[in-house]
Chain A
Amino acid sequence: MDRGQMAKWFKDPVKMGHKYSLGVVYFATGCGIIEIPPTITTRWDAERFGVVPAATPRHANLFLITGYVSVKTLRAIIRTYEQMPEPKYLIGFGSCPINGGMYWDSYNTINSLDKYVPVDGWIAGCMPRPEAIFIAVTHLWTMIDKDMADGYKRYKKYYRQYRRNQERVLQHLEWPPLYPIGEGE
């Protein structure tokens, strides 16, 4: 353990625990998933950073969207995100979730992921190297330290707007709202 961080551990042990044990759901849409096997295995070894693949979304707190998001995929992403326990962080990996990437004029690919689910950070590039994931994870540590990784709080606060956008794209959602619609902005 880094002795320089001792004070932080005594001050807020829960936050430090969250920082160094990120269970990840890799959402394998599109080509980005090809970067994940070298990342989590011995070549780059994501476990150095406490990043461990989680078996189910209910055991995870980091959600990595690795690739373009079609309308059908968005449904699965929303369901997965809503199942994860708080605190939860969502990172878009690659240029496609940011603005559509090379699929920006497709009839079935949503262009900006952050209109439908709150995104804590982006990894730009097509494709980003595995090192970029570690840079993102270390940035996320800093953000957790400063309480800036508040995507799940924003989701709750502005749930009415998120749900409105989700319903506009998917037309019918077969699950009830996660939070009461009347509350929040």
Chain B
Amino acid sequence: MDKTLPEKIRENFPNADVSSVEEERLAVTVPKEELIDILSFVKNLGFDHLVMVSCVDWIDEGQFELVYIVTSYVSYNGESSGKGRQHIIVKIRIDRSKATFRTIIPVYQNAEPYEREIHELYGVDFQGHPRLTPLLLEREYPVPPFRKDFDSRNYVKEFFDSIPEIEEEK
């Protein structure tokens, strides 16, 4: 009998905290130094599709949580029907005040737009990324707008509401 996926991950990464969120979804929390290793490891197991990269702002703890979701089009037990398709959710925490991390483009090439988006909306700097240019936003904001300390209402009041109406002669 082959080892199950959580056992394989626990065996190779003793620091990883593996828990099953629900059926077919596996959450793995690792220290940030091990991220590239674990992503390469699961990619070699057949998880060759990066679904998305996301970011959570834990402002009280002073940390950003980066979430990498990987899956494979062929299910882990070899069925091609898609039944039993496993998702792995890899989470790391980085420091919020010094928000830099390294890019994972060498492992998963399609991480490029996701990292650009996170750079723009959360202000996380991905070192080694070839082009961290604006992707979605047209303007520059005082604080990256998806951070929890961005006061959206105040921004609207100060900026959009301050634009004058067109004054027309009657």
Contact = CB atoms under 8 A, between A and B. Distances in A.
Interface string A163-179: 00100111100000000
Interface of A: 71-72, 75, 104-108, 110-112, 114-115, 118, 154, 158, 161-162, 165, 168-171, 185
Interface residues of B, number: 21
Interface of B: 136-141, 145, 150, 152-153, 155-156, 160-161, 163-169
Nearest to B162: A168
Q: Main SS of chain B's interface residues?
A: loop
B135 to A, nearest CB: 10
29 contacts: A72-B136, A72-B137, A72-B138, A75-B138, A105-B152, A107-B141, A107-B145, A107-B150, A107-B156, A108-B137, A108-B145, A111-B160, A114-B165, A158-B166, A158-B167, A158-B168, A161-B164, A161-B166, A161-B167, A162-B166, A165-B163, A165-B164, A168-B163, A169-B138, A169-B160, A170-B138, A170-B139, A185-B168, A185-B169
Given A106-B156, A171-B138, A185-B168, 11 more contacts: A71-B137, A71-B139, A104-B156, A107-B156, A108-B137, A115-B163, A118-B166, A154-B166, A161-B164, A165-B163, A170-B139
A107 to B, nearest CB: 4
A169 B139 contact: yes
Q: Which 10 A-B pairs have the closest CB atoms?
A: A107-B145, A71-B138, A105-B153, A161-B166, A111-B160, A107-B152, A72-B138, A105-B156, A165-B163, A105-B152
A120 to B, nearest CB: 14
A115 B140 CA distance: 20
Nearest to A170: B138
Contacts of B163: 115, 165, 168-169
Contacts of A110: 160
A170 B134 CA distance: 14
B6 to A, nearest CB: 40
Nearest to B165: A115
A118 B165 CA distance: 11
Contacts of A107: 141, 145, 150, 152, 155-156
Nearest to A70: B138
Nearest to A104: B156
Contacts of A162: 166
